[in-house]
């Protein structure tokens, strides 16, 4: 039972870390002056991904947990879609690819839990 709890905490920390990484990525766009609607949407979706995941973990009713997890995964998939479509300068390409890999792995882990 303790291992399951630690696993969920670890996954929550990974979702949180992804959200923080997206904030850092967006700040890079602010520095270049290329902030746009896609980047703002990415930030909103990443925050929604984390918020819904936490709500799912805290839900007392199974139906609520399922609803929040579905919303969380929907936000994560939208983050993936946005990351794939955002055009970046060469210096941001590695960060973009890392975020794509990170969110794809999270989608897979949350979907299989």
Q: What is the pLDDT along the chain (113 residues), one digit of tens a residue?
A: 333 444 667 999 999 999 999 999 988 877 777 777 888 899 999 999 999 999 999 998 889 999 999 999 999 999 999 999 988 889 889 999 999 999 999 999 998 87
**Contacts of 51-58 spanning 24+ positions with Cβ under 8 A:** 53/12, 53/15, 53/110, 54/12, 57/8, 57/12
pTM as predicted: 0.87
CA distance 100 to 88: 13
Q: What letter would DSSP give residue 61?
A: S
What class has domain 2-112? mainly alpha
């Amino acid at each position: 039972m303790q291992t399951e709890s630690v696993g969920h905490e670890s996954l929550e920390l990974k979702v949180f870390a992804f959200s923080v990484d997206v904030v850092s990525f967006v700040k890079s766009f602010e520095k270049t002056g290329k902030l746009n609607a896609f980047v703002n949407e990415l930030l909103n979706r990443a925050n929604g991904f984390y918020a819904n995941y936490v709500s799912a973990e805290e839900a007392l009713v199974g139906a609520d947990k399922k609803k929040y997890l579905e919303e969380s995964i929907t936000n994560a998939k939208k983050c993936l879609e946005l990351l794939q479509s955002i055009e970046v300068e060469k210096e941001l390409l590695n960060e973009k690819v890392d975020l794509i890999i990170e969110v794809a792995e999270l989608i897979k882990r949350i979907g299989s839990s």
